[in-house]
Amino acid sequence: MIKLKADYVLTMDSKYSIIKNGEIIFDEKIIDIGINLQKTKKEVYLGKNSVIMPALINSHTHLEFSHNKTLLKYGDFIIWLDSVIENREELFINCKGECYKKAIQEMKESGVCAYGEISSTGDDLRYIKHSPLKVVYFNEIIGTNPAVVDMLYQDFLARFEESLKLQNEKLKVGVSIHSPYSVHPILMEKVINLAKINNLPIQTHFMESKAERSWLDKGEGEFKLFFEKNFKNAKPLISPIEFIEKFKNSHTTFIHCVHANDNEFQKIKEIGGYISHCPVSNRLLNVGLLDLEKIKNCGIEYNVATDGLSSNYSLNLFKEIRAALLMHTTLHPKYLAKDLLKAVTINAAKSLNLNNGSLEKGKDADIITFKLPNSIKETENLPLQIILHTNKVDKLYINGKEV
Ligand code: MCF
Ligand code: FE
C-alpha cells in the first residue's frame, strides 16, 4: 500500500474535483483519496507544484505503421491513402522489435497507461504482448471484394483467436471495421456479431474525409476514381445511417467523424456510441476540424487520440491535446482544456471499457505524477496550465506498480 501527496490532485470524477494538498492511497486499486487520510507505512510527498492525476489513455493508434517518419504523403486524404497502399509492405517489414519499443516508450513517457491498437495483420501482437502498458487490441477487418469475403473472414478469425489466447489483466481484445467504404456488408455483419456475442469493444473509422462523404452519399468524387482503378462500376455498399445502425447494442467508438452530419451524430448518440477525435491526424491529412461544440451539444462523450505514426509525428498525448487546444480557436481555452483532460482520461476509459481514467475508490490505480514549473493561484486554471507545460511525467503507476 502506498500513499502519495501532492499540491494538486485532479480526480477527473464526475464533479471534476481538484483537491489542493491532496492524498491518494492505493495498492492495485485506489483505496482512498482526499485530505488528511489515514497514516500508512510508505508515504511520499511529491514536492512543490506537484500534480497527481489519472494516467492518460490513447484510445486509437496503429503501431504497425510506427516506422513511418517521412515516407507517407500528407495534405490530401486520397493522396495519403494511395501512399499508404504503396508503402504498406515496406513500412510493415521495417517495424520490428525496436520500432514497437520506441513507439510504446514515447507513450509511456508522456504518461499513457493504456492504448487502443488497431491491428490489420496480427504481426504486432508478439511485440506488444510484453509491454508494460495496457492494450485493447482491435483486430481489423478490411476488404470489399465479394469474391474473397470468405478468405478475408478466415484470415480475420485466425488473428482474432490468436489474440484471444493472450487475453489477460493488461491485454483485452476488440474488433475493428475499417470504415463504411472499405468493408463489405457481409463481413461487417459477421465481425460485428462476433463482437456482440462476446461483448467486445469495436472501433471504426467514420466520415473522415469529404471524399468519403461524397462517395457514400452519391457514389461520386475522388473515391469513385479510387475504386474504379480496381473495380468497374463500383458503387457504395451501404448508407452512412445504415452503417451506424449496424452497431446498435454494441460498444462502439466512431473514429474521426469530421464530416458526419447532424442526423448521424444523433444516431451515434441514440445507439450509445463514442467518438474519437484525432486532431493532428486530421490536420496532416487535411480533412478539416471536428466540431466539438456540436458533439457536446448532442451529449456524446468524445475522447482524443493520436492515431498512428502513419498520420502523426508523435504518440505523445500531451502534445496531441496541446495541438487540439491551439486548433479549436472558437472555444475558450480554459474550458476546452478541462474537456481535453477528460477526453484523454475518463472519456477514453469509457470508450475502451476500462476501469480507470479517474481517481476514485475501487478504480485501477493507473496514476501519473509530474510537476508544474510554478504554482497556480486559482485551481480553475490548472487544466490549461497542465496542457501548456507538460510533455513528460515523473512517475507512471499501472495497477499500482511503478513502470
Ligand atoms: O486513421 C487513419 C486514417 N484513416 C484510416 N486508416 C488508417 C489511419 N491510419 C492508419 N490507417 C490504416 C487502416 O487501419 O491504414 C490502412 C488500414 O489498415 C488503410 S487501407 C490500406
Ligand atoms: Fe486510425
* Domains of the chain listed by start with CATH number: 2-55+358-402 (2.30.40.10), 56-352 (3.20.20.140)
* pLDDT for res 233: 84
What DSSP assignment string belongs to 25-45? EESSBEEEEESSPPP-SEEEE
Which of these, 48, 24, 111, 13, lies nearest to 369 by C-alpha position? 111
- Residue carrying C-alpha cell 503501431: 63
Q: How many CB atoms are located within 10 Å of the residue 6 CB?
A: 25
Find out whether 273 and 300 touch, Cβ atoms under 8 Å. Answer: yes
Q: How many CB atoms are located within 10 Å of the residue 177 CB?
A: 26
Cα separation, 151 vs 190, in Å, equals: 13
For residues 198-217, give the mean pLDDT. Answer: 98
CA of 203 to the centre of ligand 2 (A): 9
Is the minimum distance from the CB of 311 to ligand 1 under 6 angstroms? Answer: yes
| Band (229; pLDDT cuts 50, 70, 90) | confident
| Band (77; pLDDT cuts 50, 70, 90) | very high
For residues 19-41, give the mean pLDDT. Answer: 97
The beta-carbon contacts of 248-251 under 8 Å, at least 24 apart in sequence, are: 249/196, 250/192, 250/195, 250/196, 250/202, 251/195, 251/199, 251/200, 251/201, 251/202, 251/353
Answer whether residue 37 shows pLDDT above 90.
yes
Which residues, in sequence order, are CB contacts of 125 under 8 Å at separation 6+?
A: 119, 137, 162, 163, 166
What DSSP assignment string belongs to 97-131? HHHHHHHHHHHHHTTEEEEEEEESSSTTHHHHTTS
DSSP 3-state of 339: helix
- Torsion sign across C-alpha atoms 214, 218, 221, 227: positive
Cα separation, 96 vs 123, in Å, equals: 9
State the closest ligand 1 atom to the C-alpha of 208, by its place in the atom list counted from 1.
Answer: 4
Catalytic residues, by residue number, are 208
Nearest-CA residue for atom 15 of ligand 1: 84
- Residues around ion ligand 2, judged by CB within 5 A, are 307
Answer whether residue 230 shows pLDDT above 90.
no
DSSP 3-state of 272: coil
Q: What ipTM does the predicted assembly reach? A: 0.99
CA of 174 to the centre of ligand 1 (A): 17
Is the minimum distance from the CB of 369 to ligand 1 under 6 angstroms? Answer: no
What pTM was estimated for this model as a whole?
0.98
% of the chain surpassing 90 pLDDT: 98
Cα separation, 77 vs 243, in Å, equals: 21
329 burial level (CB within 10 Å; 0-12, 13-18, 19+): exposed
Cα separation, 76 vs 226, in Å, equals: 13
Is the minimum distance from the CB of 131 to ligand 1 under 6 angstroms? Answer: no
How many residues appear in the chain?
403
Cα separation, 15 vs 124, in Å, equals: 39
For residues 52-64, give the mean pLDDT. Answer: 99
Which residues, in sequence order, are CB contacts of 177 under 8 Å at separation 6+?
A: 140, 141, 183, 187, 188, 191, 192, 202, 203, 204
* pLDDT for res 56: 99
Is the minimum distance from the CB of 310 to ligand 1 under 6 angstroms? Answer: yes
For residues 20-40, give the mean pLDDT. Answer: 98
* pLDDT for res 358: 99
Is the minimum distance from the CB of 62 to ligand 1 under 6 angstroms? Answer: yes
* pLDDT for res 188: 98
Please, which residues bridge with residue 358 across strands? none
| Band (359; pLDDT cuts 50, 70, 90) | very high
Predicted confidence (pLDDT) per residue in 288-337, tens digit: 999 999 999 999 999 999 999 999 999 999 999 999 999 999 999 999 99
**CA distances, 352 to each of 123, 156, 190, 191, 303 (Å):** 22, 21, 21, 18, 10
Predicted confidence (pLDDT) per residue in 262-280, tens digit: 999 999 999 999 999 999 9
Predicted confidence (pLDDT) per residue in 128-178, tens digit: 998 999 999 999 999 999 999 999 999 999 999 999 999 999 999 999 999
